[in-house]
Structure 1
Amino acid sequence: MKLTAIIIDDELPTLNLMKYIIQKSGKVDVIGEFSNPKEVISNIDKLKPDIAFVDVEMPGMNGIALAEELGKLDYKIQIIFSTAYKEYAFDAFKVEAVDYILKPVTEDQINKTIDKIIKRYPLILSKNREGNEDSLNSNITSEVHSDEEVNANNLNKSYKNEDAKNESTKNKNKKNENEVLIYDDSRSNKNQRCNISCLGQFAVYMEYKDTISSNQVKFETVKVEELFAYLTLSEGRPVEKWRLCEMLWPDFPDKKAEHNLHSTIYRLKTSFKKVGFTEDFINYKNGCYTLNVDNFYCDLWDFRKLENYKDLEAANVILIEKVLDLYQGELYGNKAYIWSIDEGQKLNDLNVHMTMKLSNYYIEKKQYDISIRHLYKLLRLNNYNEEVYELMMKCYFYKGDKVKLMKFYKDVRDTLAKELDVKPSKTTVELYNYLIRNLEQ
């Protein structure tokens, strides 16, 4: 069975060349060619291709935006970008593109990309069809192979209950939008738990019930630590083996990267065993690794639940405050992973948005000191936010505290001048002058 592909490129010569090379390979059928990205959107449901070769630089809608739209579909289309600029590689990663080809395109480039797709096609099928078996496990060390074989046997025993478990998971995800679960020992009868801290730092601790002792997990290598950080970010979602290989060893040959991955998985398990954590916390199925989240508590997972909150009210405001307290800084702290940048910014924006909403809630209740406390926390994490400045000044105005209003504005002005060599924005200055005038009346 051949794979099917569409090509989107506003340069007709490039489009024709790509079609010729792809068809010549004899491995992929081109079922659609487009020079206008918007035409792709209107025809995609009819074509349902396996692969989309997408030009990045196009008028009207660029390739990144098109890939984001295609990513919203129920079935997975493997995106391959073609571009003349290497800097688009990071954007390609963010939309989970399989590969990108630098222009001018060559037959060798396209054939290598097609071979990569074909090698992973069983993984593509496994996302949409049940019962597929992955056949990419033939070249691993005997020690790791044995370890994974045991995991596979354990998984086979549970396949009969998998539908019931999936249904249970779906029901859990349909919780009321005002419900947030903070870790509670009553959720587990185990004598040990493993805490993952991601917000402000990255650290993993083993804790034991009825004691105050804890042991930090010491990862054997930086790659082991990065692998676990990525699995934590995935929060129980399956992660393809090939994606982990490309993320951790992008310049390695496929077999070498795969061997390194298996060794790293083994070392990860060893790191946990050294602190007495004996749970089987990584599952392997259909070419994907999955972190068993039932074995862990993670501040990141609870913090993400803030996205479910639409309104603040007396019934949920205390819970929201507790969850906001989890945010102690940027995702993974000073460990800069390129794949975490986008998610880190999203979490920061969520923290700012919900804290501002919480502060406005307390302002409406005329509880200005509580509002100020939350706003100061935002400023400790990020000194440069004009929206926070303005809301803070309003709080002092509502309190009738002219002295603190003046001091706060002076601190803002001095900080901006010292750190950024800029002045407060025009709207901030105008608001300050307005508030001062009205306090003097």
Structure 2
Amino acid sequence: MLRVIIVEDEEPILDLMERLVGRHPMLEVAGAFTSPIEALERYSQLKPDAAFLDIEMPKMGGIELAEKLKAIDEELQVVFTTAYPGYAVDAFRVSAVDYLLKPVTPDDLERVAGRLSKNHSLRAGNREPAEEAVPSVRCFGTFETRGAGGGMVNWPTRKTEELFAYLLAYPNRLVNKWQLSDLLWPDLDEERGLHNVHNTVYRLKKALKAAGFSLELGSTNEGYHLASGAEFSDFGRLREFLGRSAKIDGRNAAEAKKLQLSCRGTLFGGKDYAWSAGIAAEASAQQATLARMLAAWHRGQGDLASAKDVLSLYLGHELLDEEMNAELLRLCAESGDAAAFCRHYESYRRLLEDELGIAPSAAMRELAASMSR
């Protein structure tokens, strides 16, 4: 786990960043500061591995702070956050790991955490032996396939990767070869389309075998099927969990929490596959079901704080979900956290106005009015 400090002069944004970073399984918040001067003074005591720095701050900007921190510890990894894209050149002058535009999302943090962890392992010389890694596929927030050695699978063509995504989305069922031709090459005639399907299946088999996957990609005269266990992908594990768990209790709560942390973001990282809208909606509904079940379990345990954390984590990538926003506001009201209620309500109200041109529901407005009295 990497120790992280966060420096952001706007307290609501600092609170949000602290929650996002604190929930990530690879990161630990070592310190959070609104003052860059205080962060600099405390640095040697905290000894962080990485720093998330706002660029625009009074008295000392993030780039100047980064230069001073790197002078103390040249191994420090720096990530800049800003509302303005014009600082990129200056940011990378001080060897920033990344440059994030506000508001920072869980998907942004997931990408950055991977970079930070990889850099840290390389510098510390403690990378796990390749033979210990097992083949795996991440489908939420990205589409990333890693082989038995832990390295990324380099697909021979984009269509090979897309075919794999489709077969993962619909595993253990026969997929008609003419359907695949229409989905992947809609502009080609039948003969050329089927030829491409055959060649791409061949490339996919070779790539999976080379990566050490034990998946069976079978074929018949009518089409192809991928025999895939749930353990290979985050999407598969989520489906399998919801298929066997009608509710969350003490026996499966830890598994559910781990699943929610790993299954964040849009399916396939929002790749623009023409066929993926339906399966992405299904995946989003499953993410919502998991969050709803987990929040309900925490509420039943009397742990309203954890229930709020679950909903906040889900809303980090499904900002406009009305039901979940309403439930989070109710939890804030029940716990007497008026400040958190007001912050979230105002953020949601502005989002609805900016994105959809509408106001919160009448029930939400009434609840907000009662909280302001």
TM-score w.r.t. structure 2 length?
A: 0.59
Q: 2:162 aligns with which of 226, 242, 247?
A: 226
Q: Which residue of 1 aligns with 2:299?
A: 363
Q: 2:249 aligns with which of 310, 313, 320?
A: 313
Q: 2:286 aligns with which of 342, 346, 350?
A: 350
Q: Note closer, same or farther for the CA distance 1:420–1:246 as it changes in structure 2 (3 Å cut).
A: closer
Q: How many angstroms apart in 1 are the aligned matches of 2:334 and 2:296?
A: 12
Q: Kindly provide the CA deviation profile for residues 300-358 of structure 1, in whole angstroms up to 9, marking residues without a partner as x.
A: 11111214322232222222222222322111112122222111101111211331232
> 5+ residue gaps in structure 2?
1-130
Report deviation, 1:281: 3.4
Q: 1:199 aligns with which of 134, 137, 140?
A: 140
The answer to whether the 8 Å contact 2:217/2:226 transfers is: yes
The alignment of Structure 1 onto Structure 2 pairs a total of residues equal to 242
Q: How many angstroms apart in 1 are the aligned matches of 2:139 and 2:365?
A: 37
Q: Kindly provide the CA deviation profile for residues 379-431 of structure 1, in whole angstroms up to 9, marking residues without a partner as x.
A: 21122122222212222222222222222222222333333333222111012
Q: Note closer, same or farther for the CA distance 1:299–1:280 as it changes in structure 2 (3 Å cut).
A: closer
Q: What SS class does the counterpart of residue 225 from structure 2 fall into?
A: strand
The answer to whether the 8 Å contact 2:217/2:225 transfers is: yes
Q: How many angstroms apart in 2 are the aligned matches of 1:309 and 1:237?
A: 23
| Structure 2 residue 308 is matched with structure 1 residue 372 | yes
Q: 2:362 aligns with which of 426, 433, 438?
A: 426
Q: Which residue of 2 aligns with 1:178?
A: none
| Structure 2 residue 218 is matched with structure 1 residue 283 | yes
Q: 2:178 aligns with which of 221, 227, 242?
A: 242
Q: Which residue of 2 aligns with 1:266?
A: 202
The answer to whether the 8 Å contact 2:140/2:264 transfers is: yes
Q: 2:334 aligns with which of 398, 413, 435?
A: 398
Q: How many angstroms apart in 1 are the aligned matches of 2:205 and 2:340?
A: 54
Q: How many angstroms apart in 1 are the aligned matches of 2:367 and 2:137?
A: 43
Q: How many angstroms apart in 1 are the aligned matches of 2:322 and 2:230?
A: 41
Q: How many angstroms apart in 2 are the aligned matches of 1:296 and 1:324?
A: 15
Report deviation, 1:294: 5.2
Report deviation, 1:230: 1.0
User: Where in structure 2 are the equivalents of 1:59-78 lying within 5 Å?
Assistant: none
Q: How many angstroms apart in 2 are the aligned matches of 1:278 and 1:423?
A: 49
Q: Which has the larger radius of gyration?
A: 1
CA RMSD of aligned residues (A): 2.5
Q: Note closer, same or farther for the CA distance 1:276–1:312 as it changes in structure 2 (3 Å cut).
A: closer
| Structure 2 residue 225 is matched with structure 1 residue 293 | no
**What amino acid maps onto 2:205 in structure 1?**
K
- Aligned-residue identity in percent: 26
The answer to whether the 8 Å contact 2:215/2:228 transfers is: no
The answer to whether the 8 Å contact 1:198/1:331 transfers is: yes
Q: How many angstroms apart in 1 are the aligned matches of 2:258 and 2:215?
A: 30
Q: How many angstroms apart in 2 are the aligned matches of 1:351 and 1:278?
A: 26
**What amino acid maps onto 1:297 in structure 2?**
F
Q: Note closer, same or farther for the CA distance 1:228–1:296 as it changes in structure 2 (3 Å cut).
A: farther
User: Where in structure 2 are the equivalents of 1:300-339 lying within 5 Å?
Assistant: 300-305=235-240, 306-339=242-275
TM-score w.r.t. structure 1 length?
A: 0.50
Q: Note closer, same or farther for the CA distance 1:373–1:278 as it changes in structure 2 (3 Å cut).
A: closer
Q: Which moved more, 1:279-288 or 1:403-412?
A: 279-288
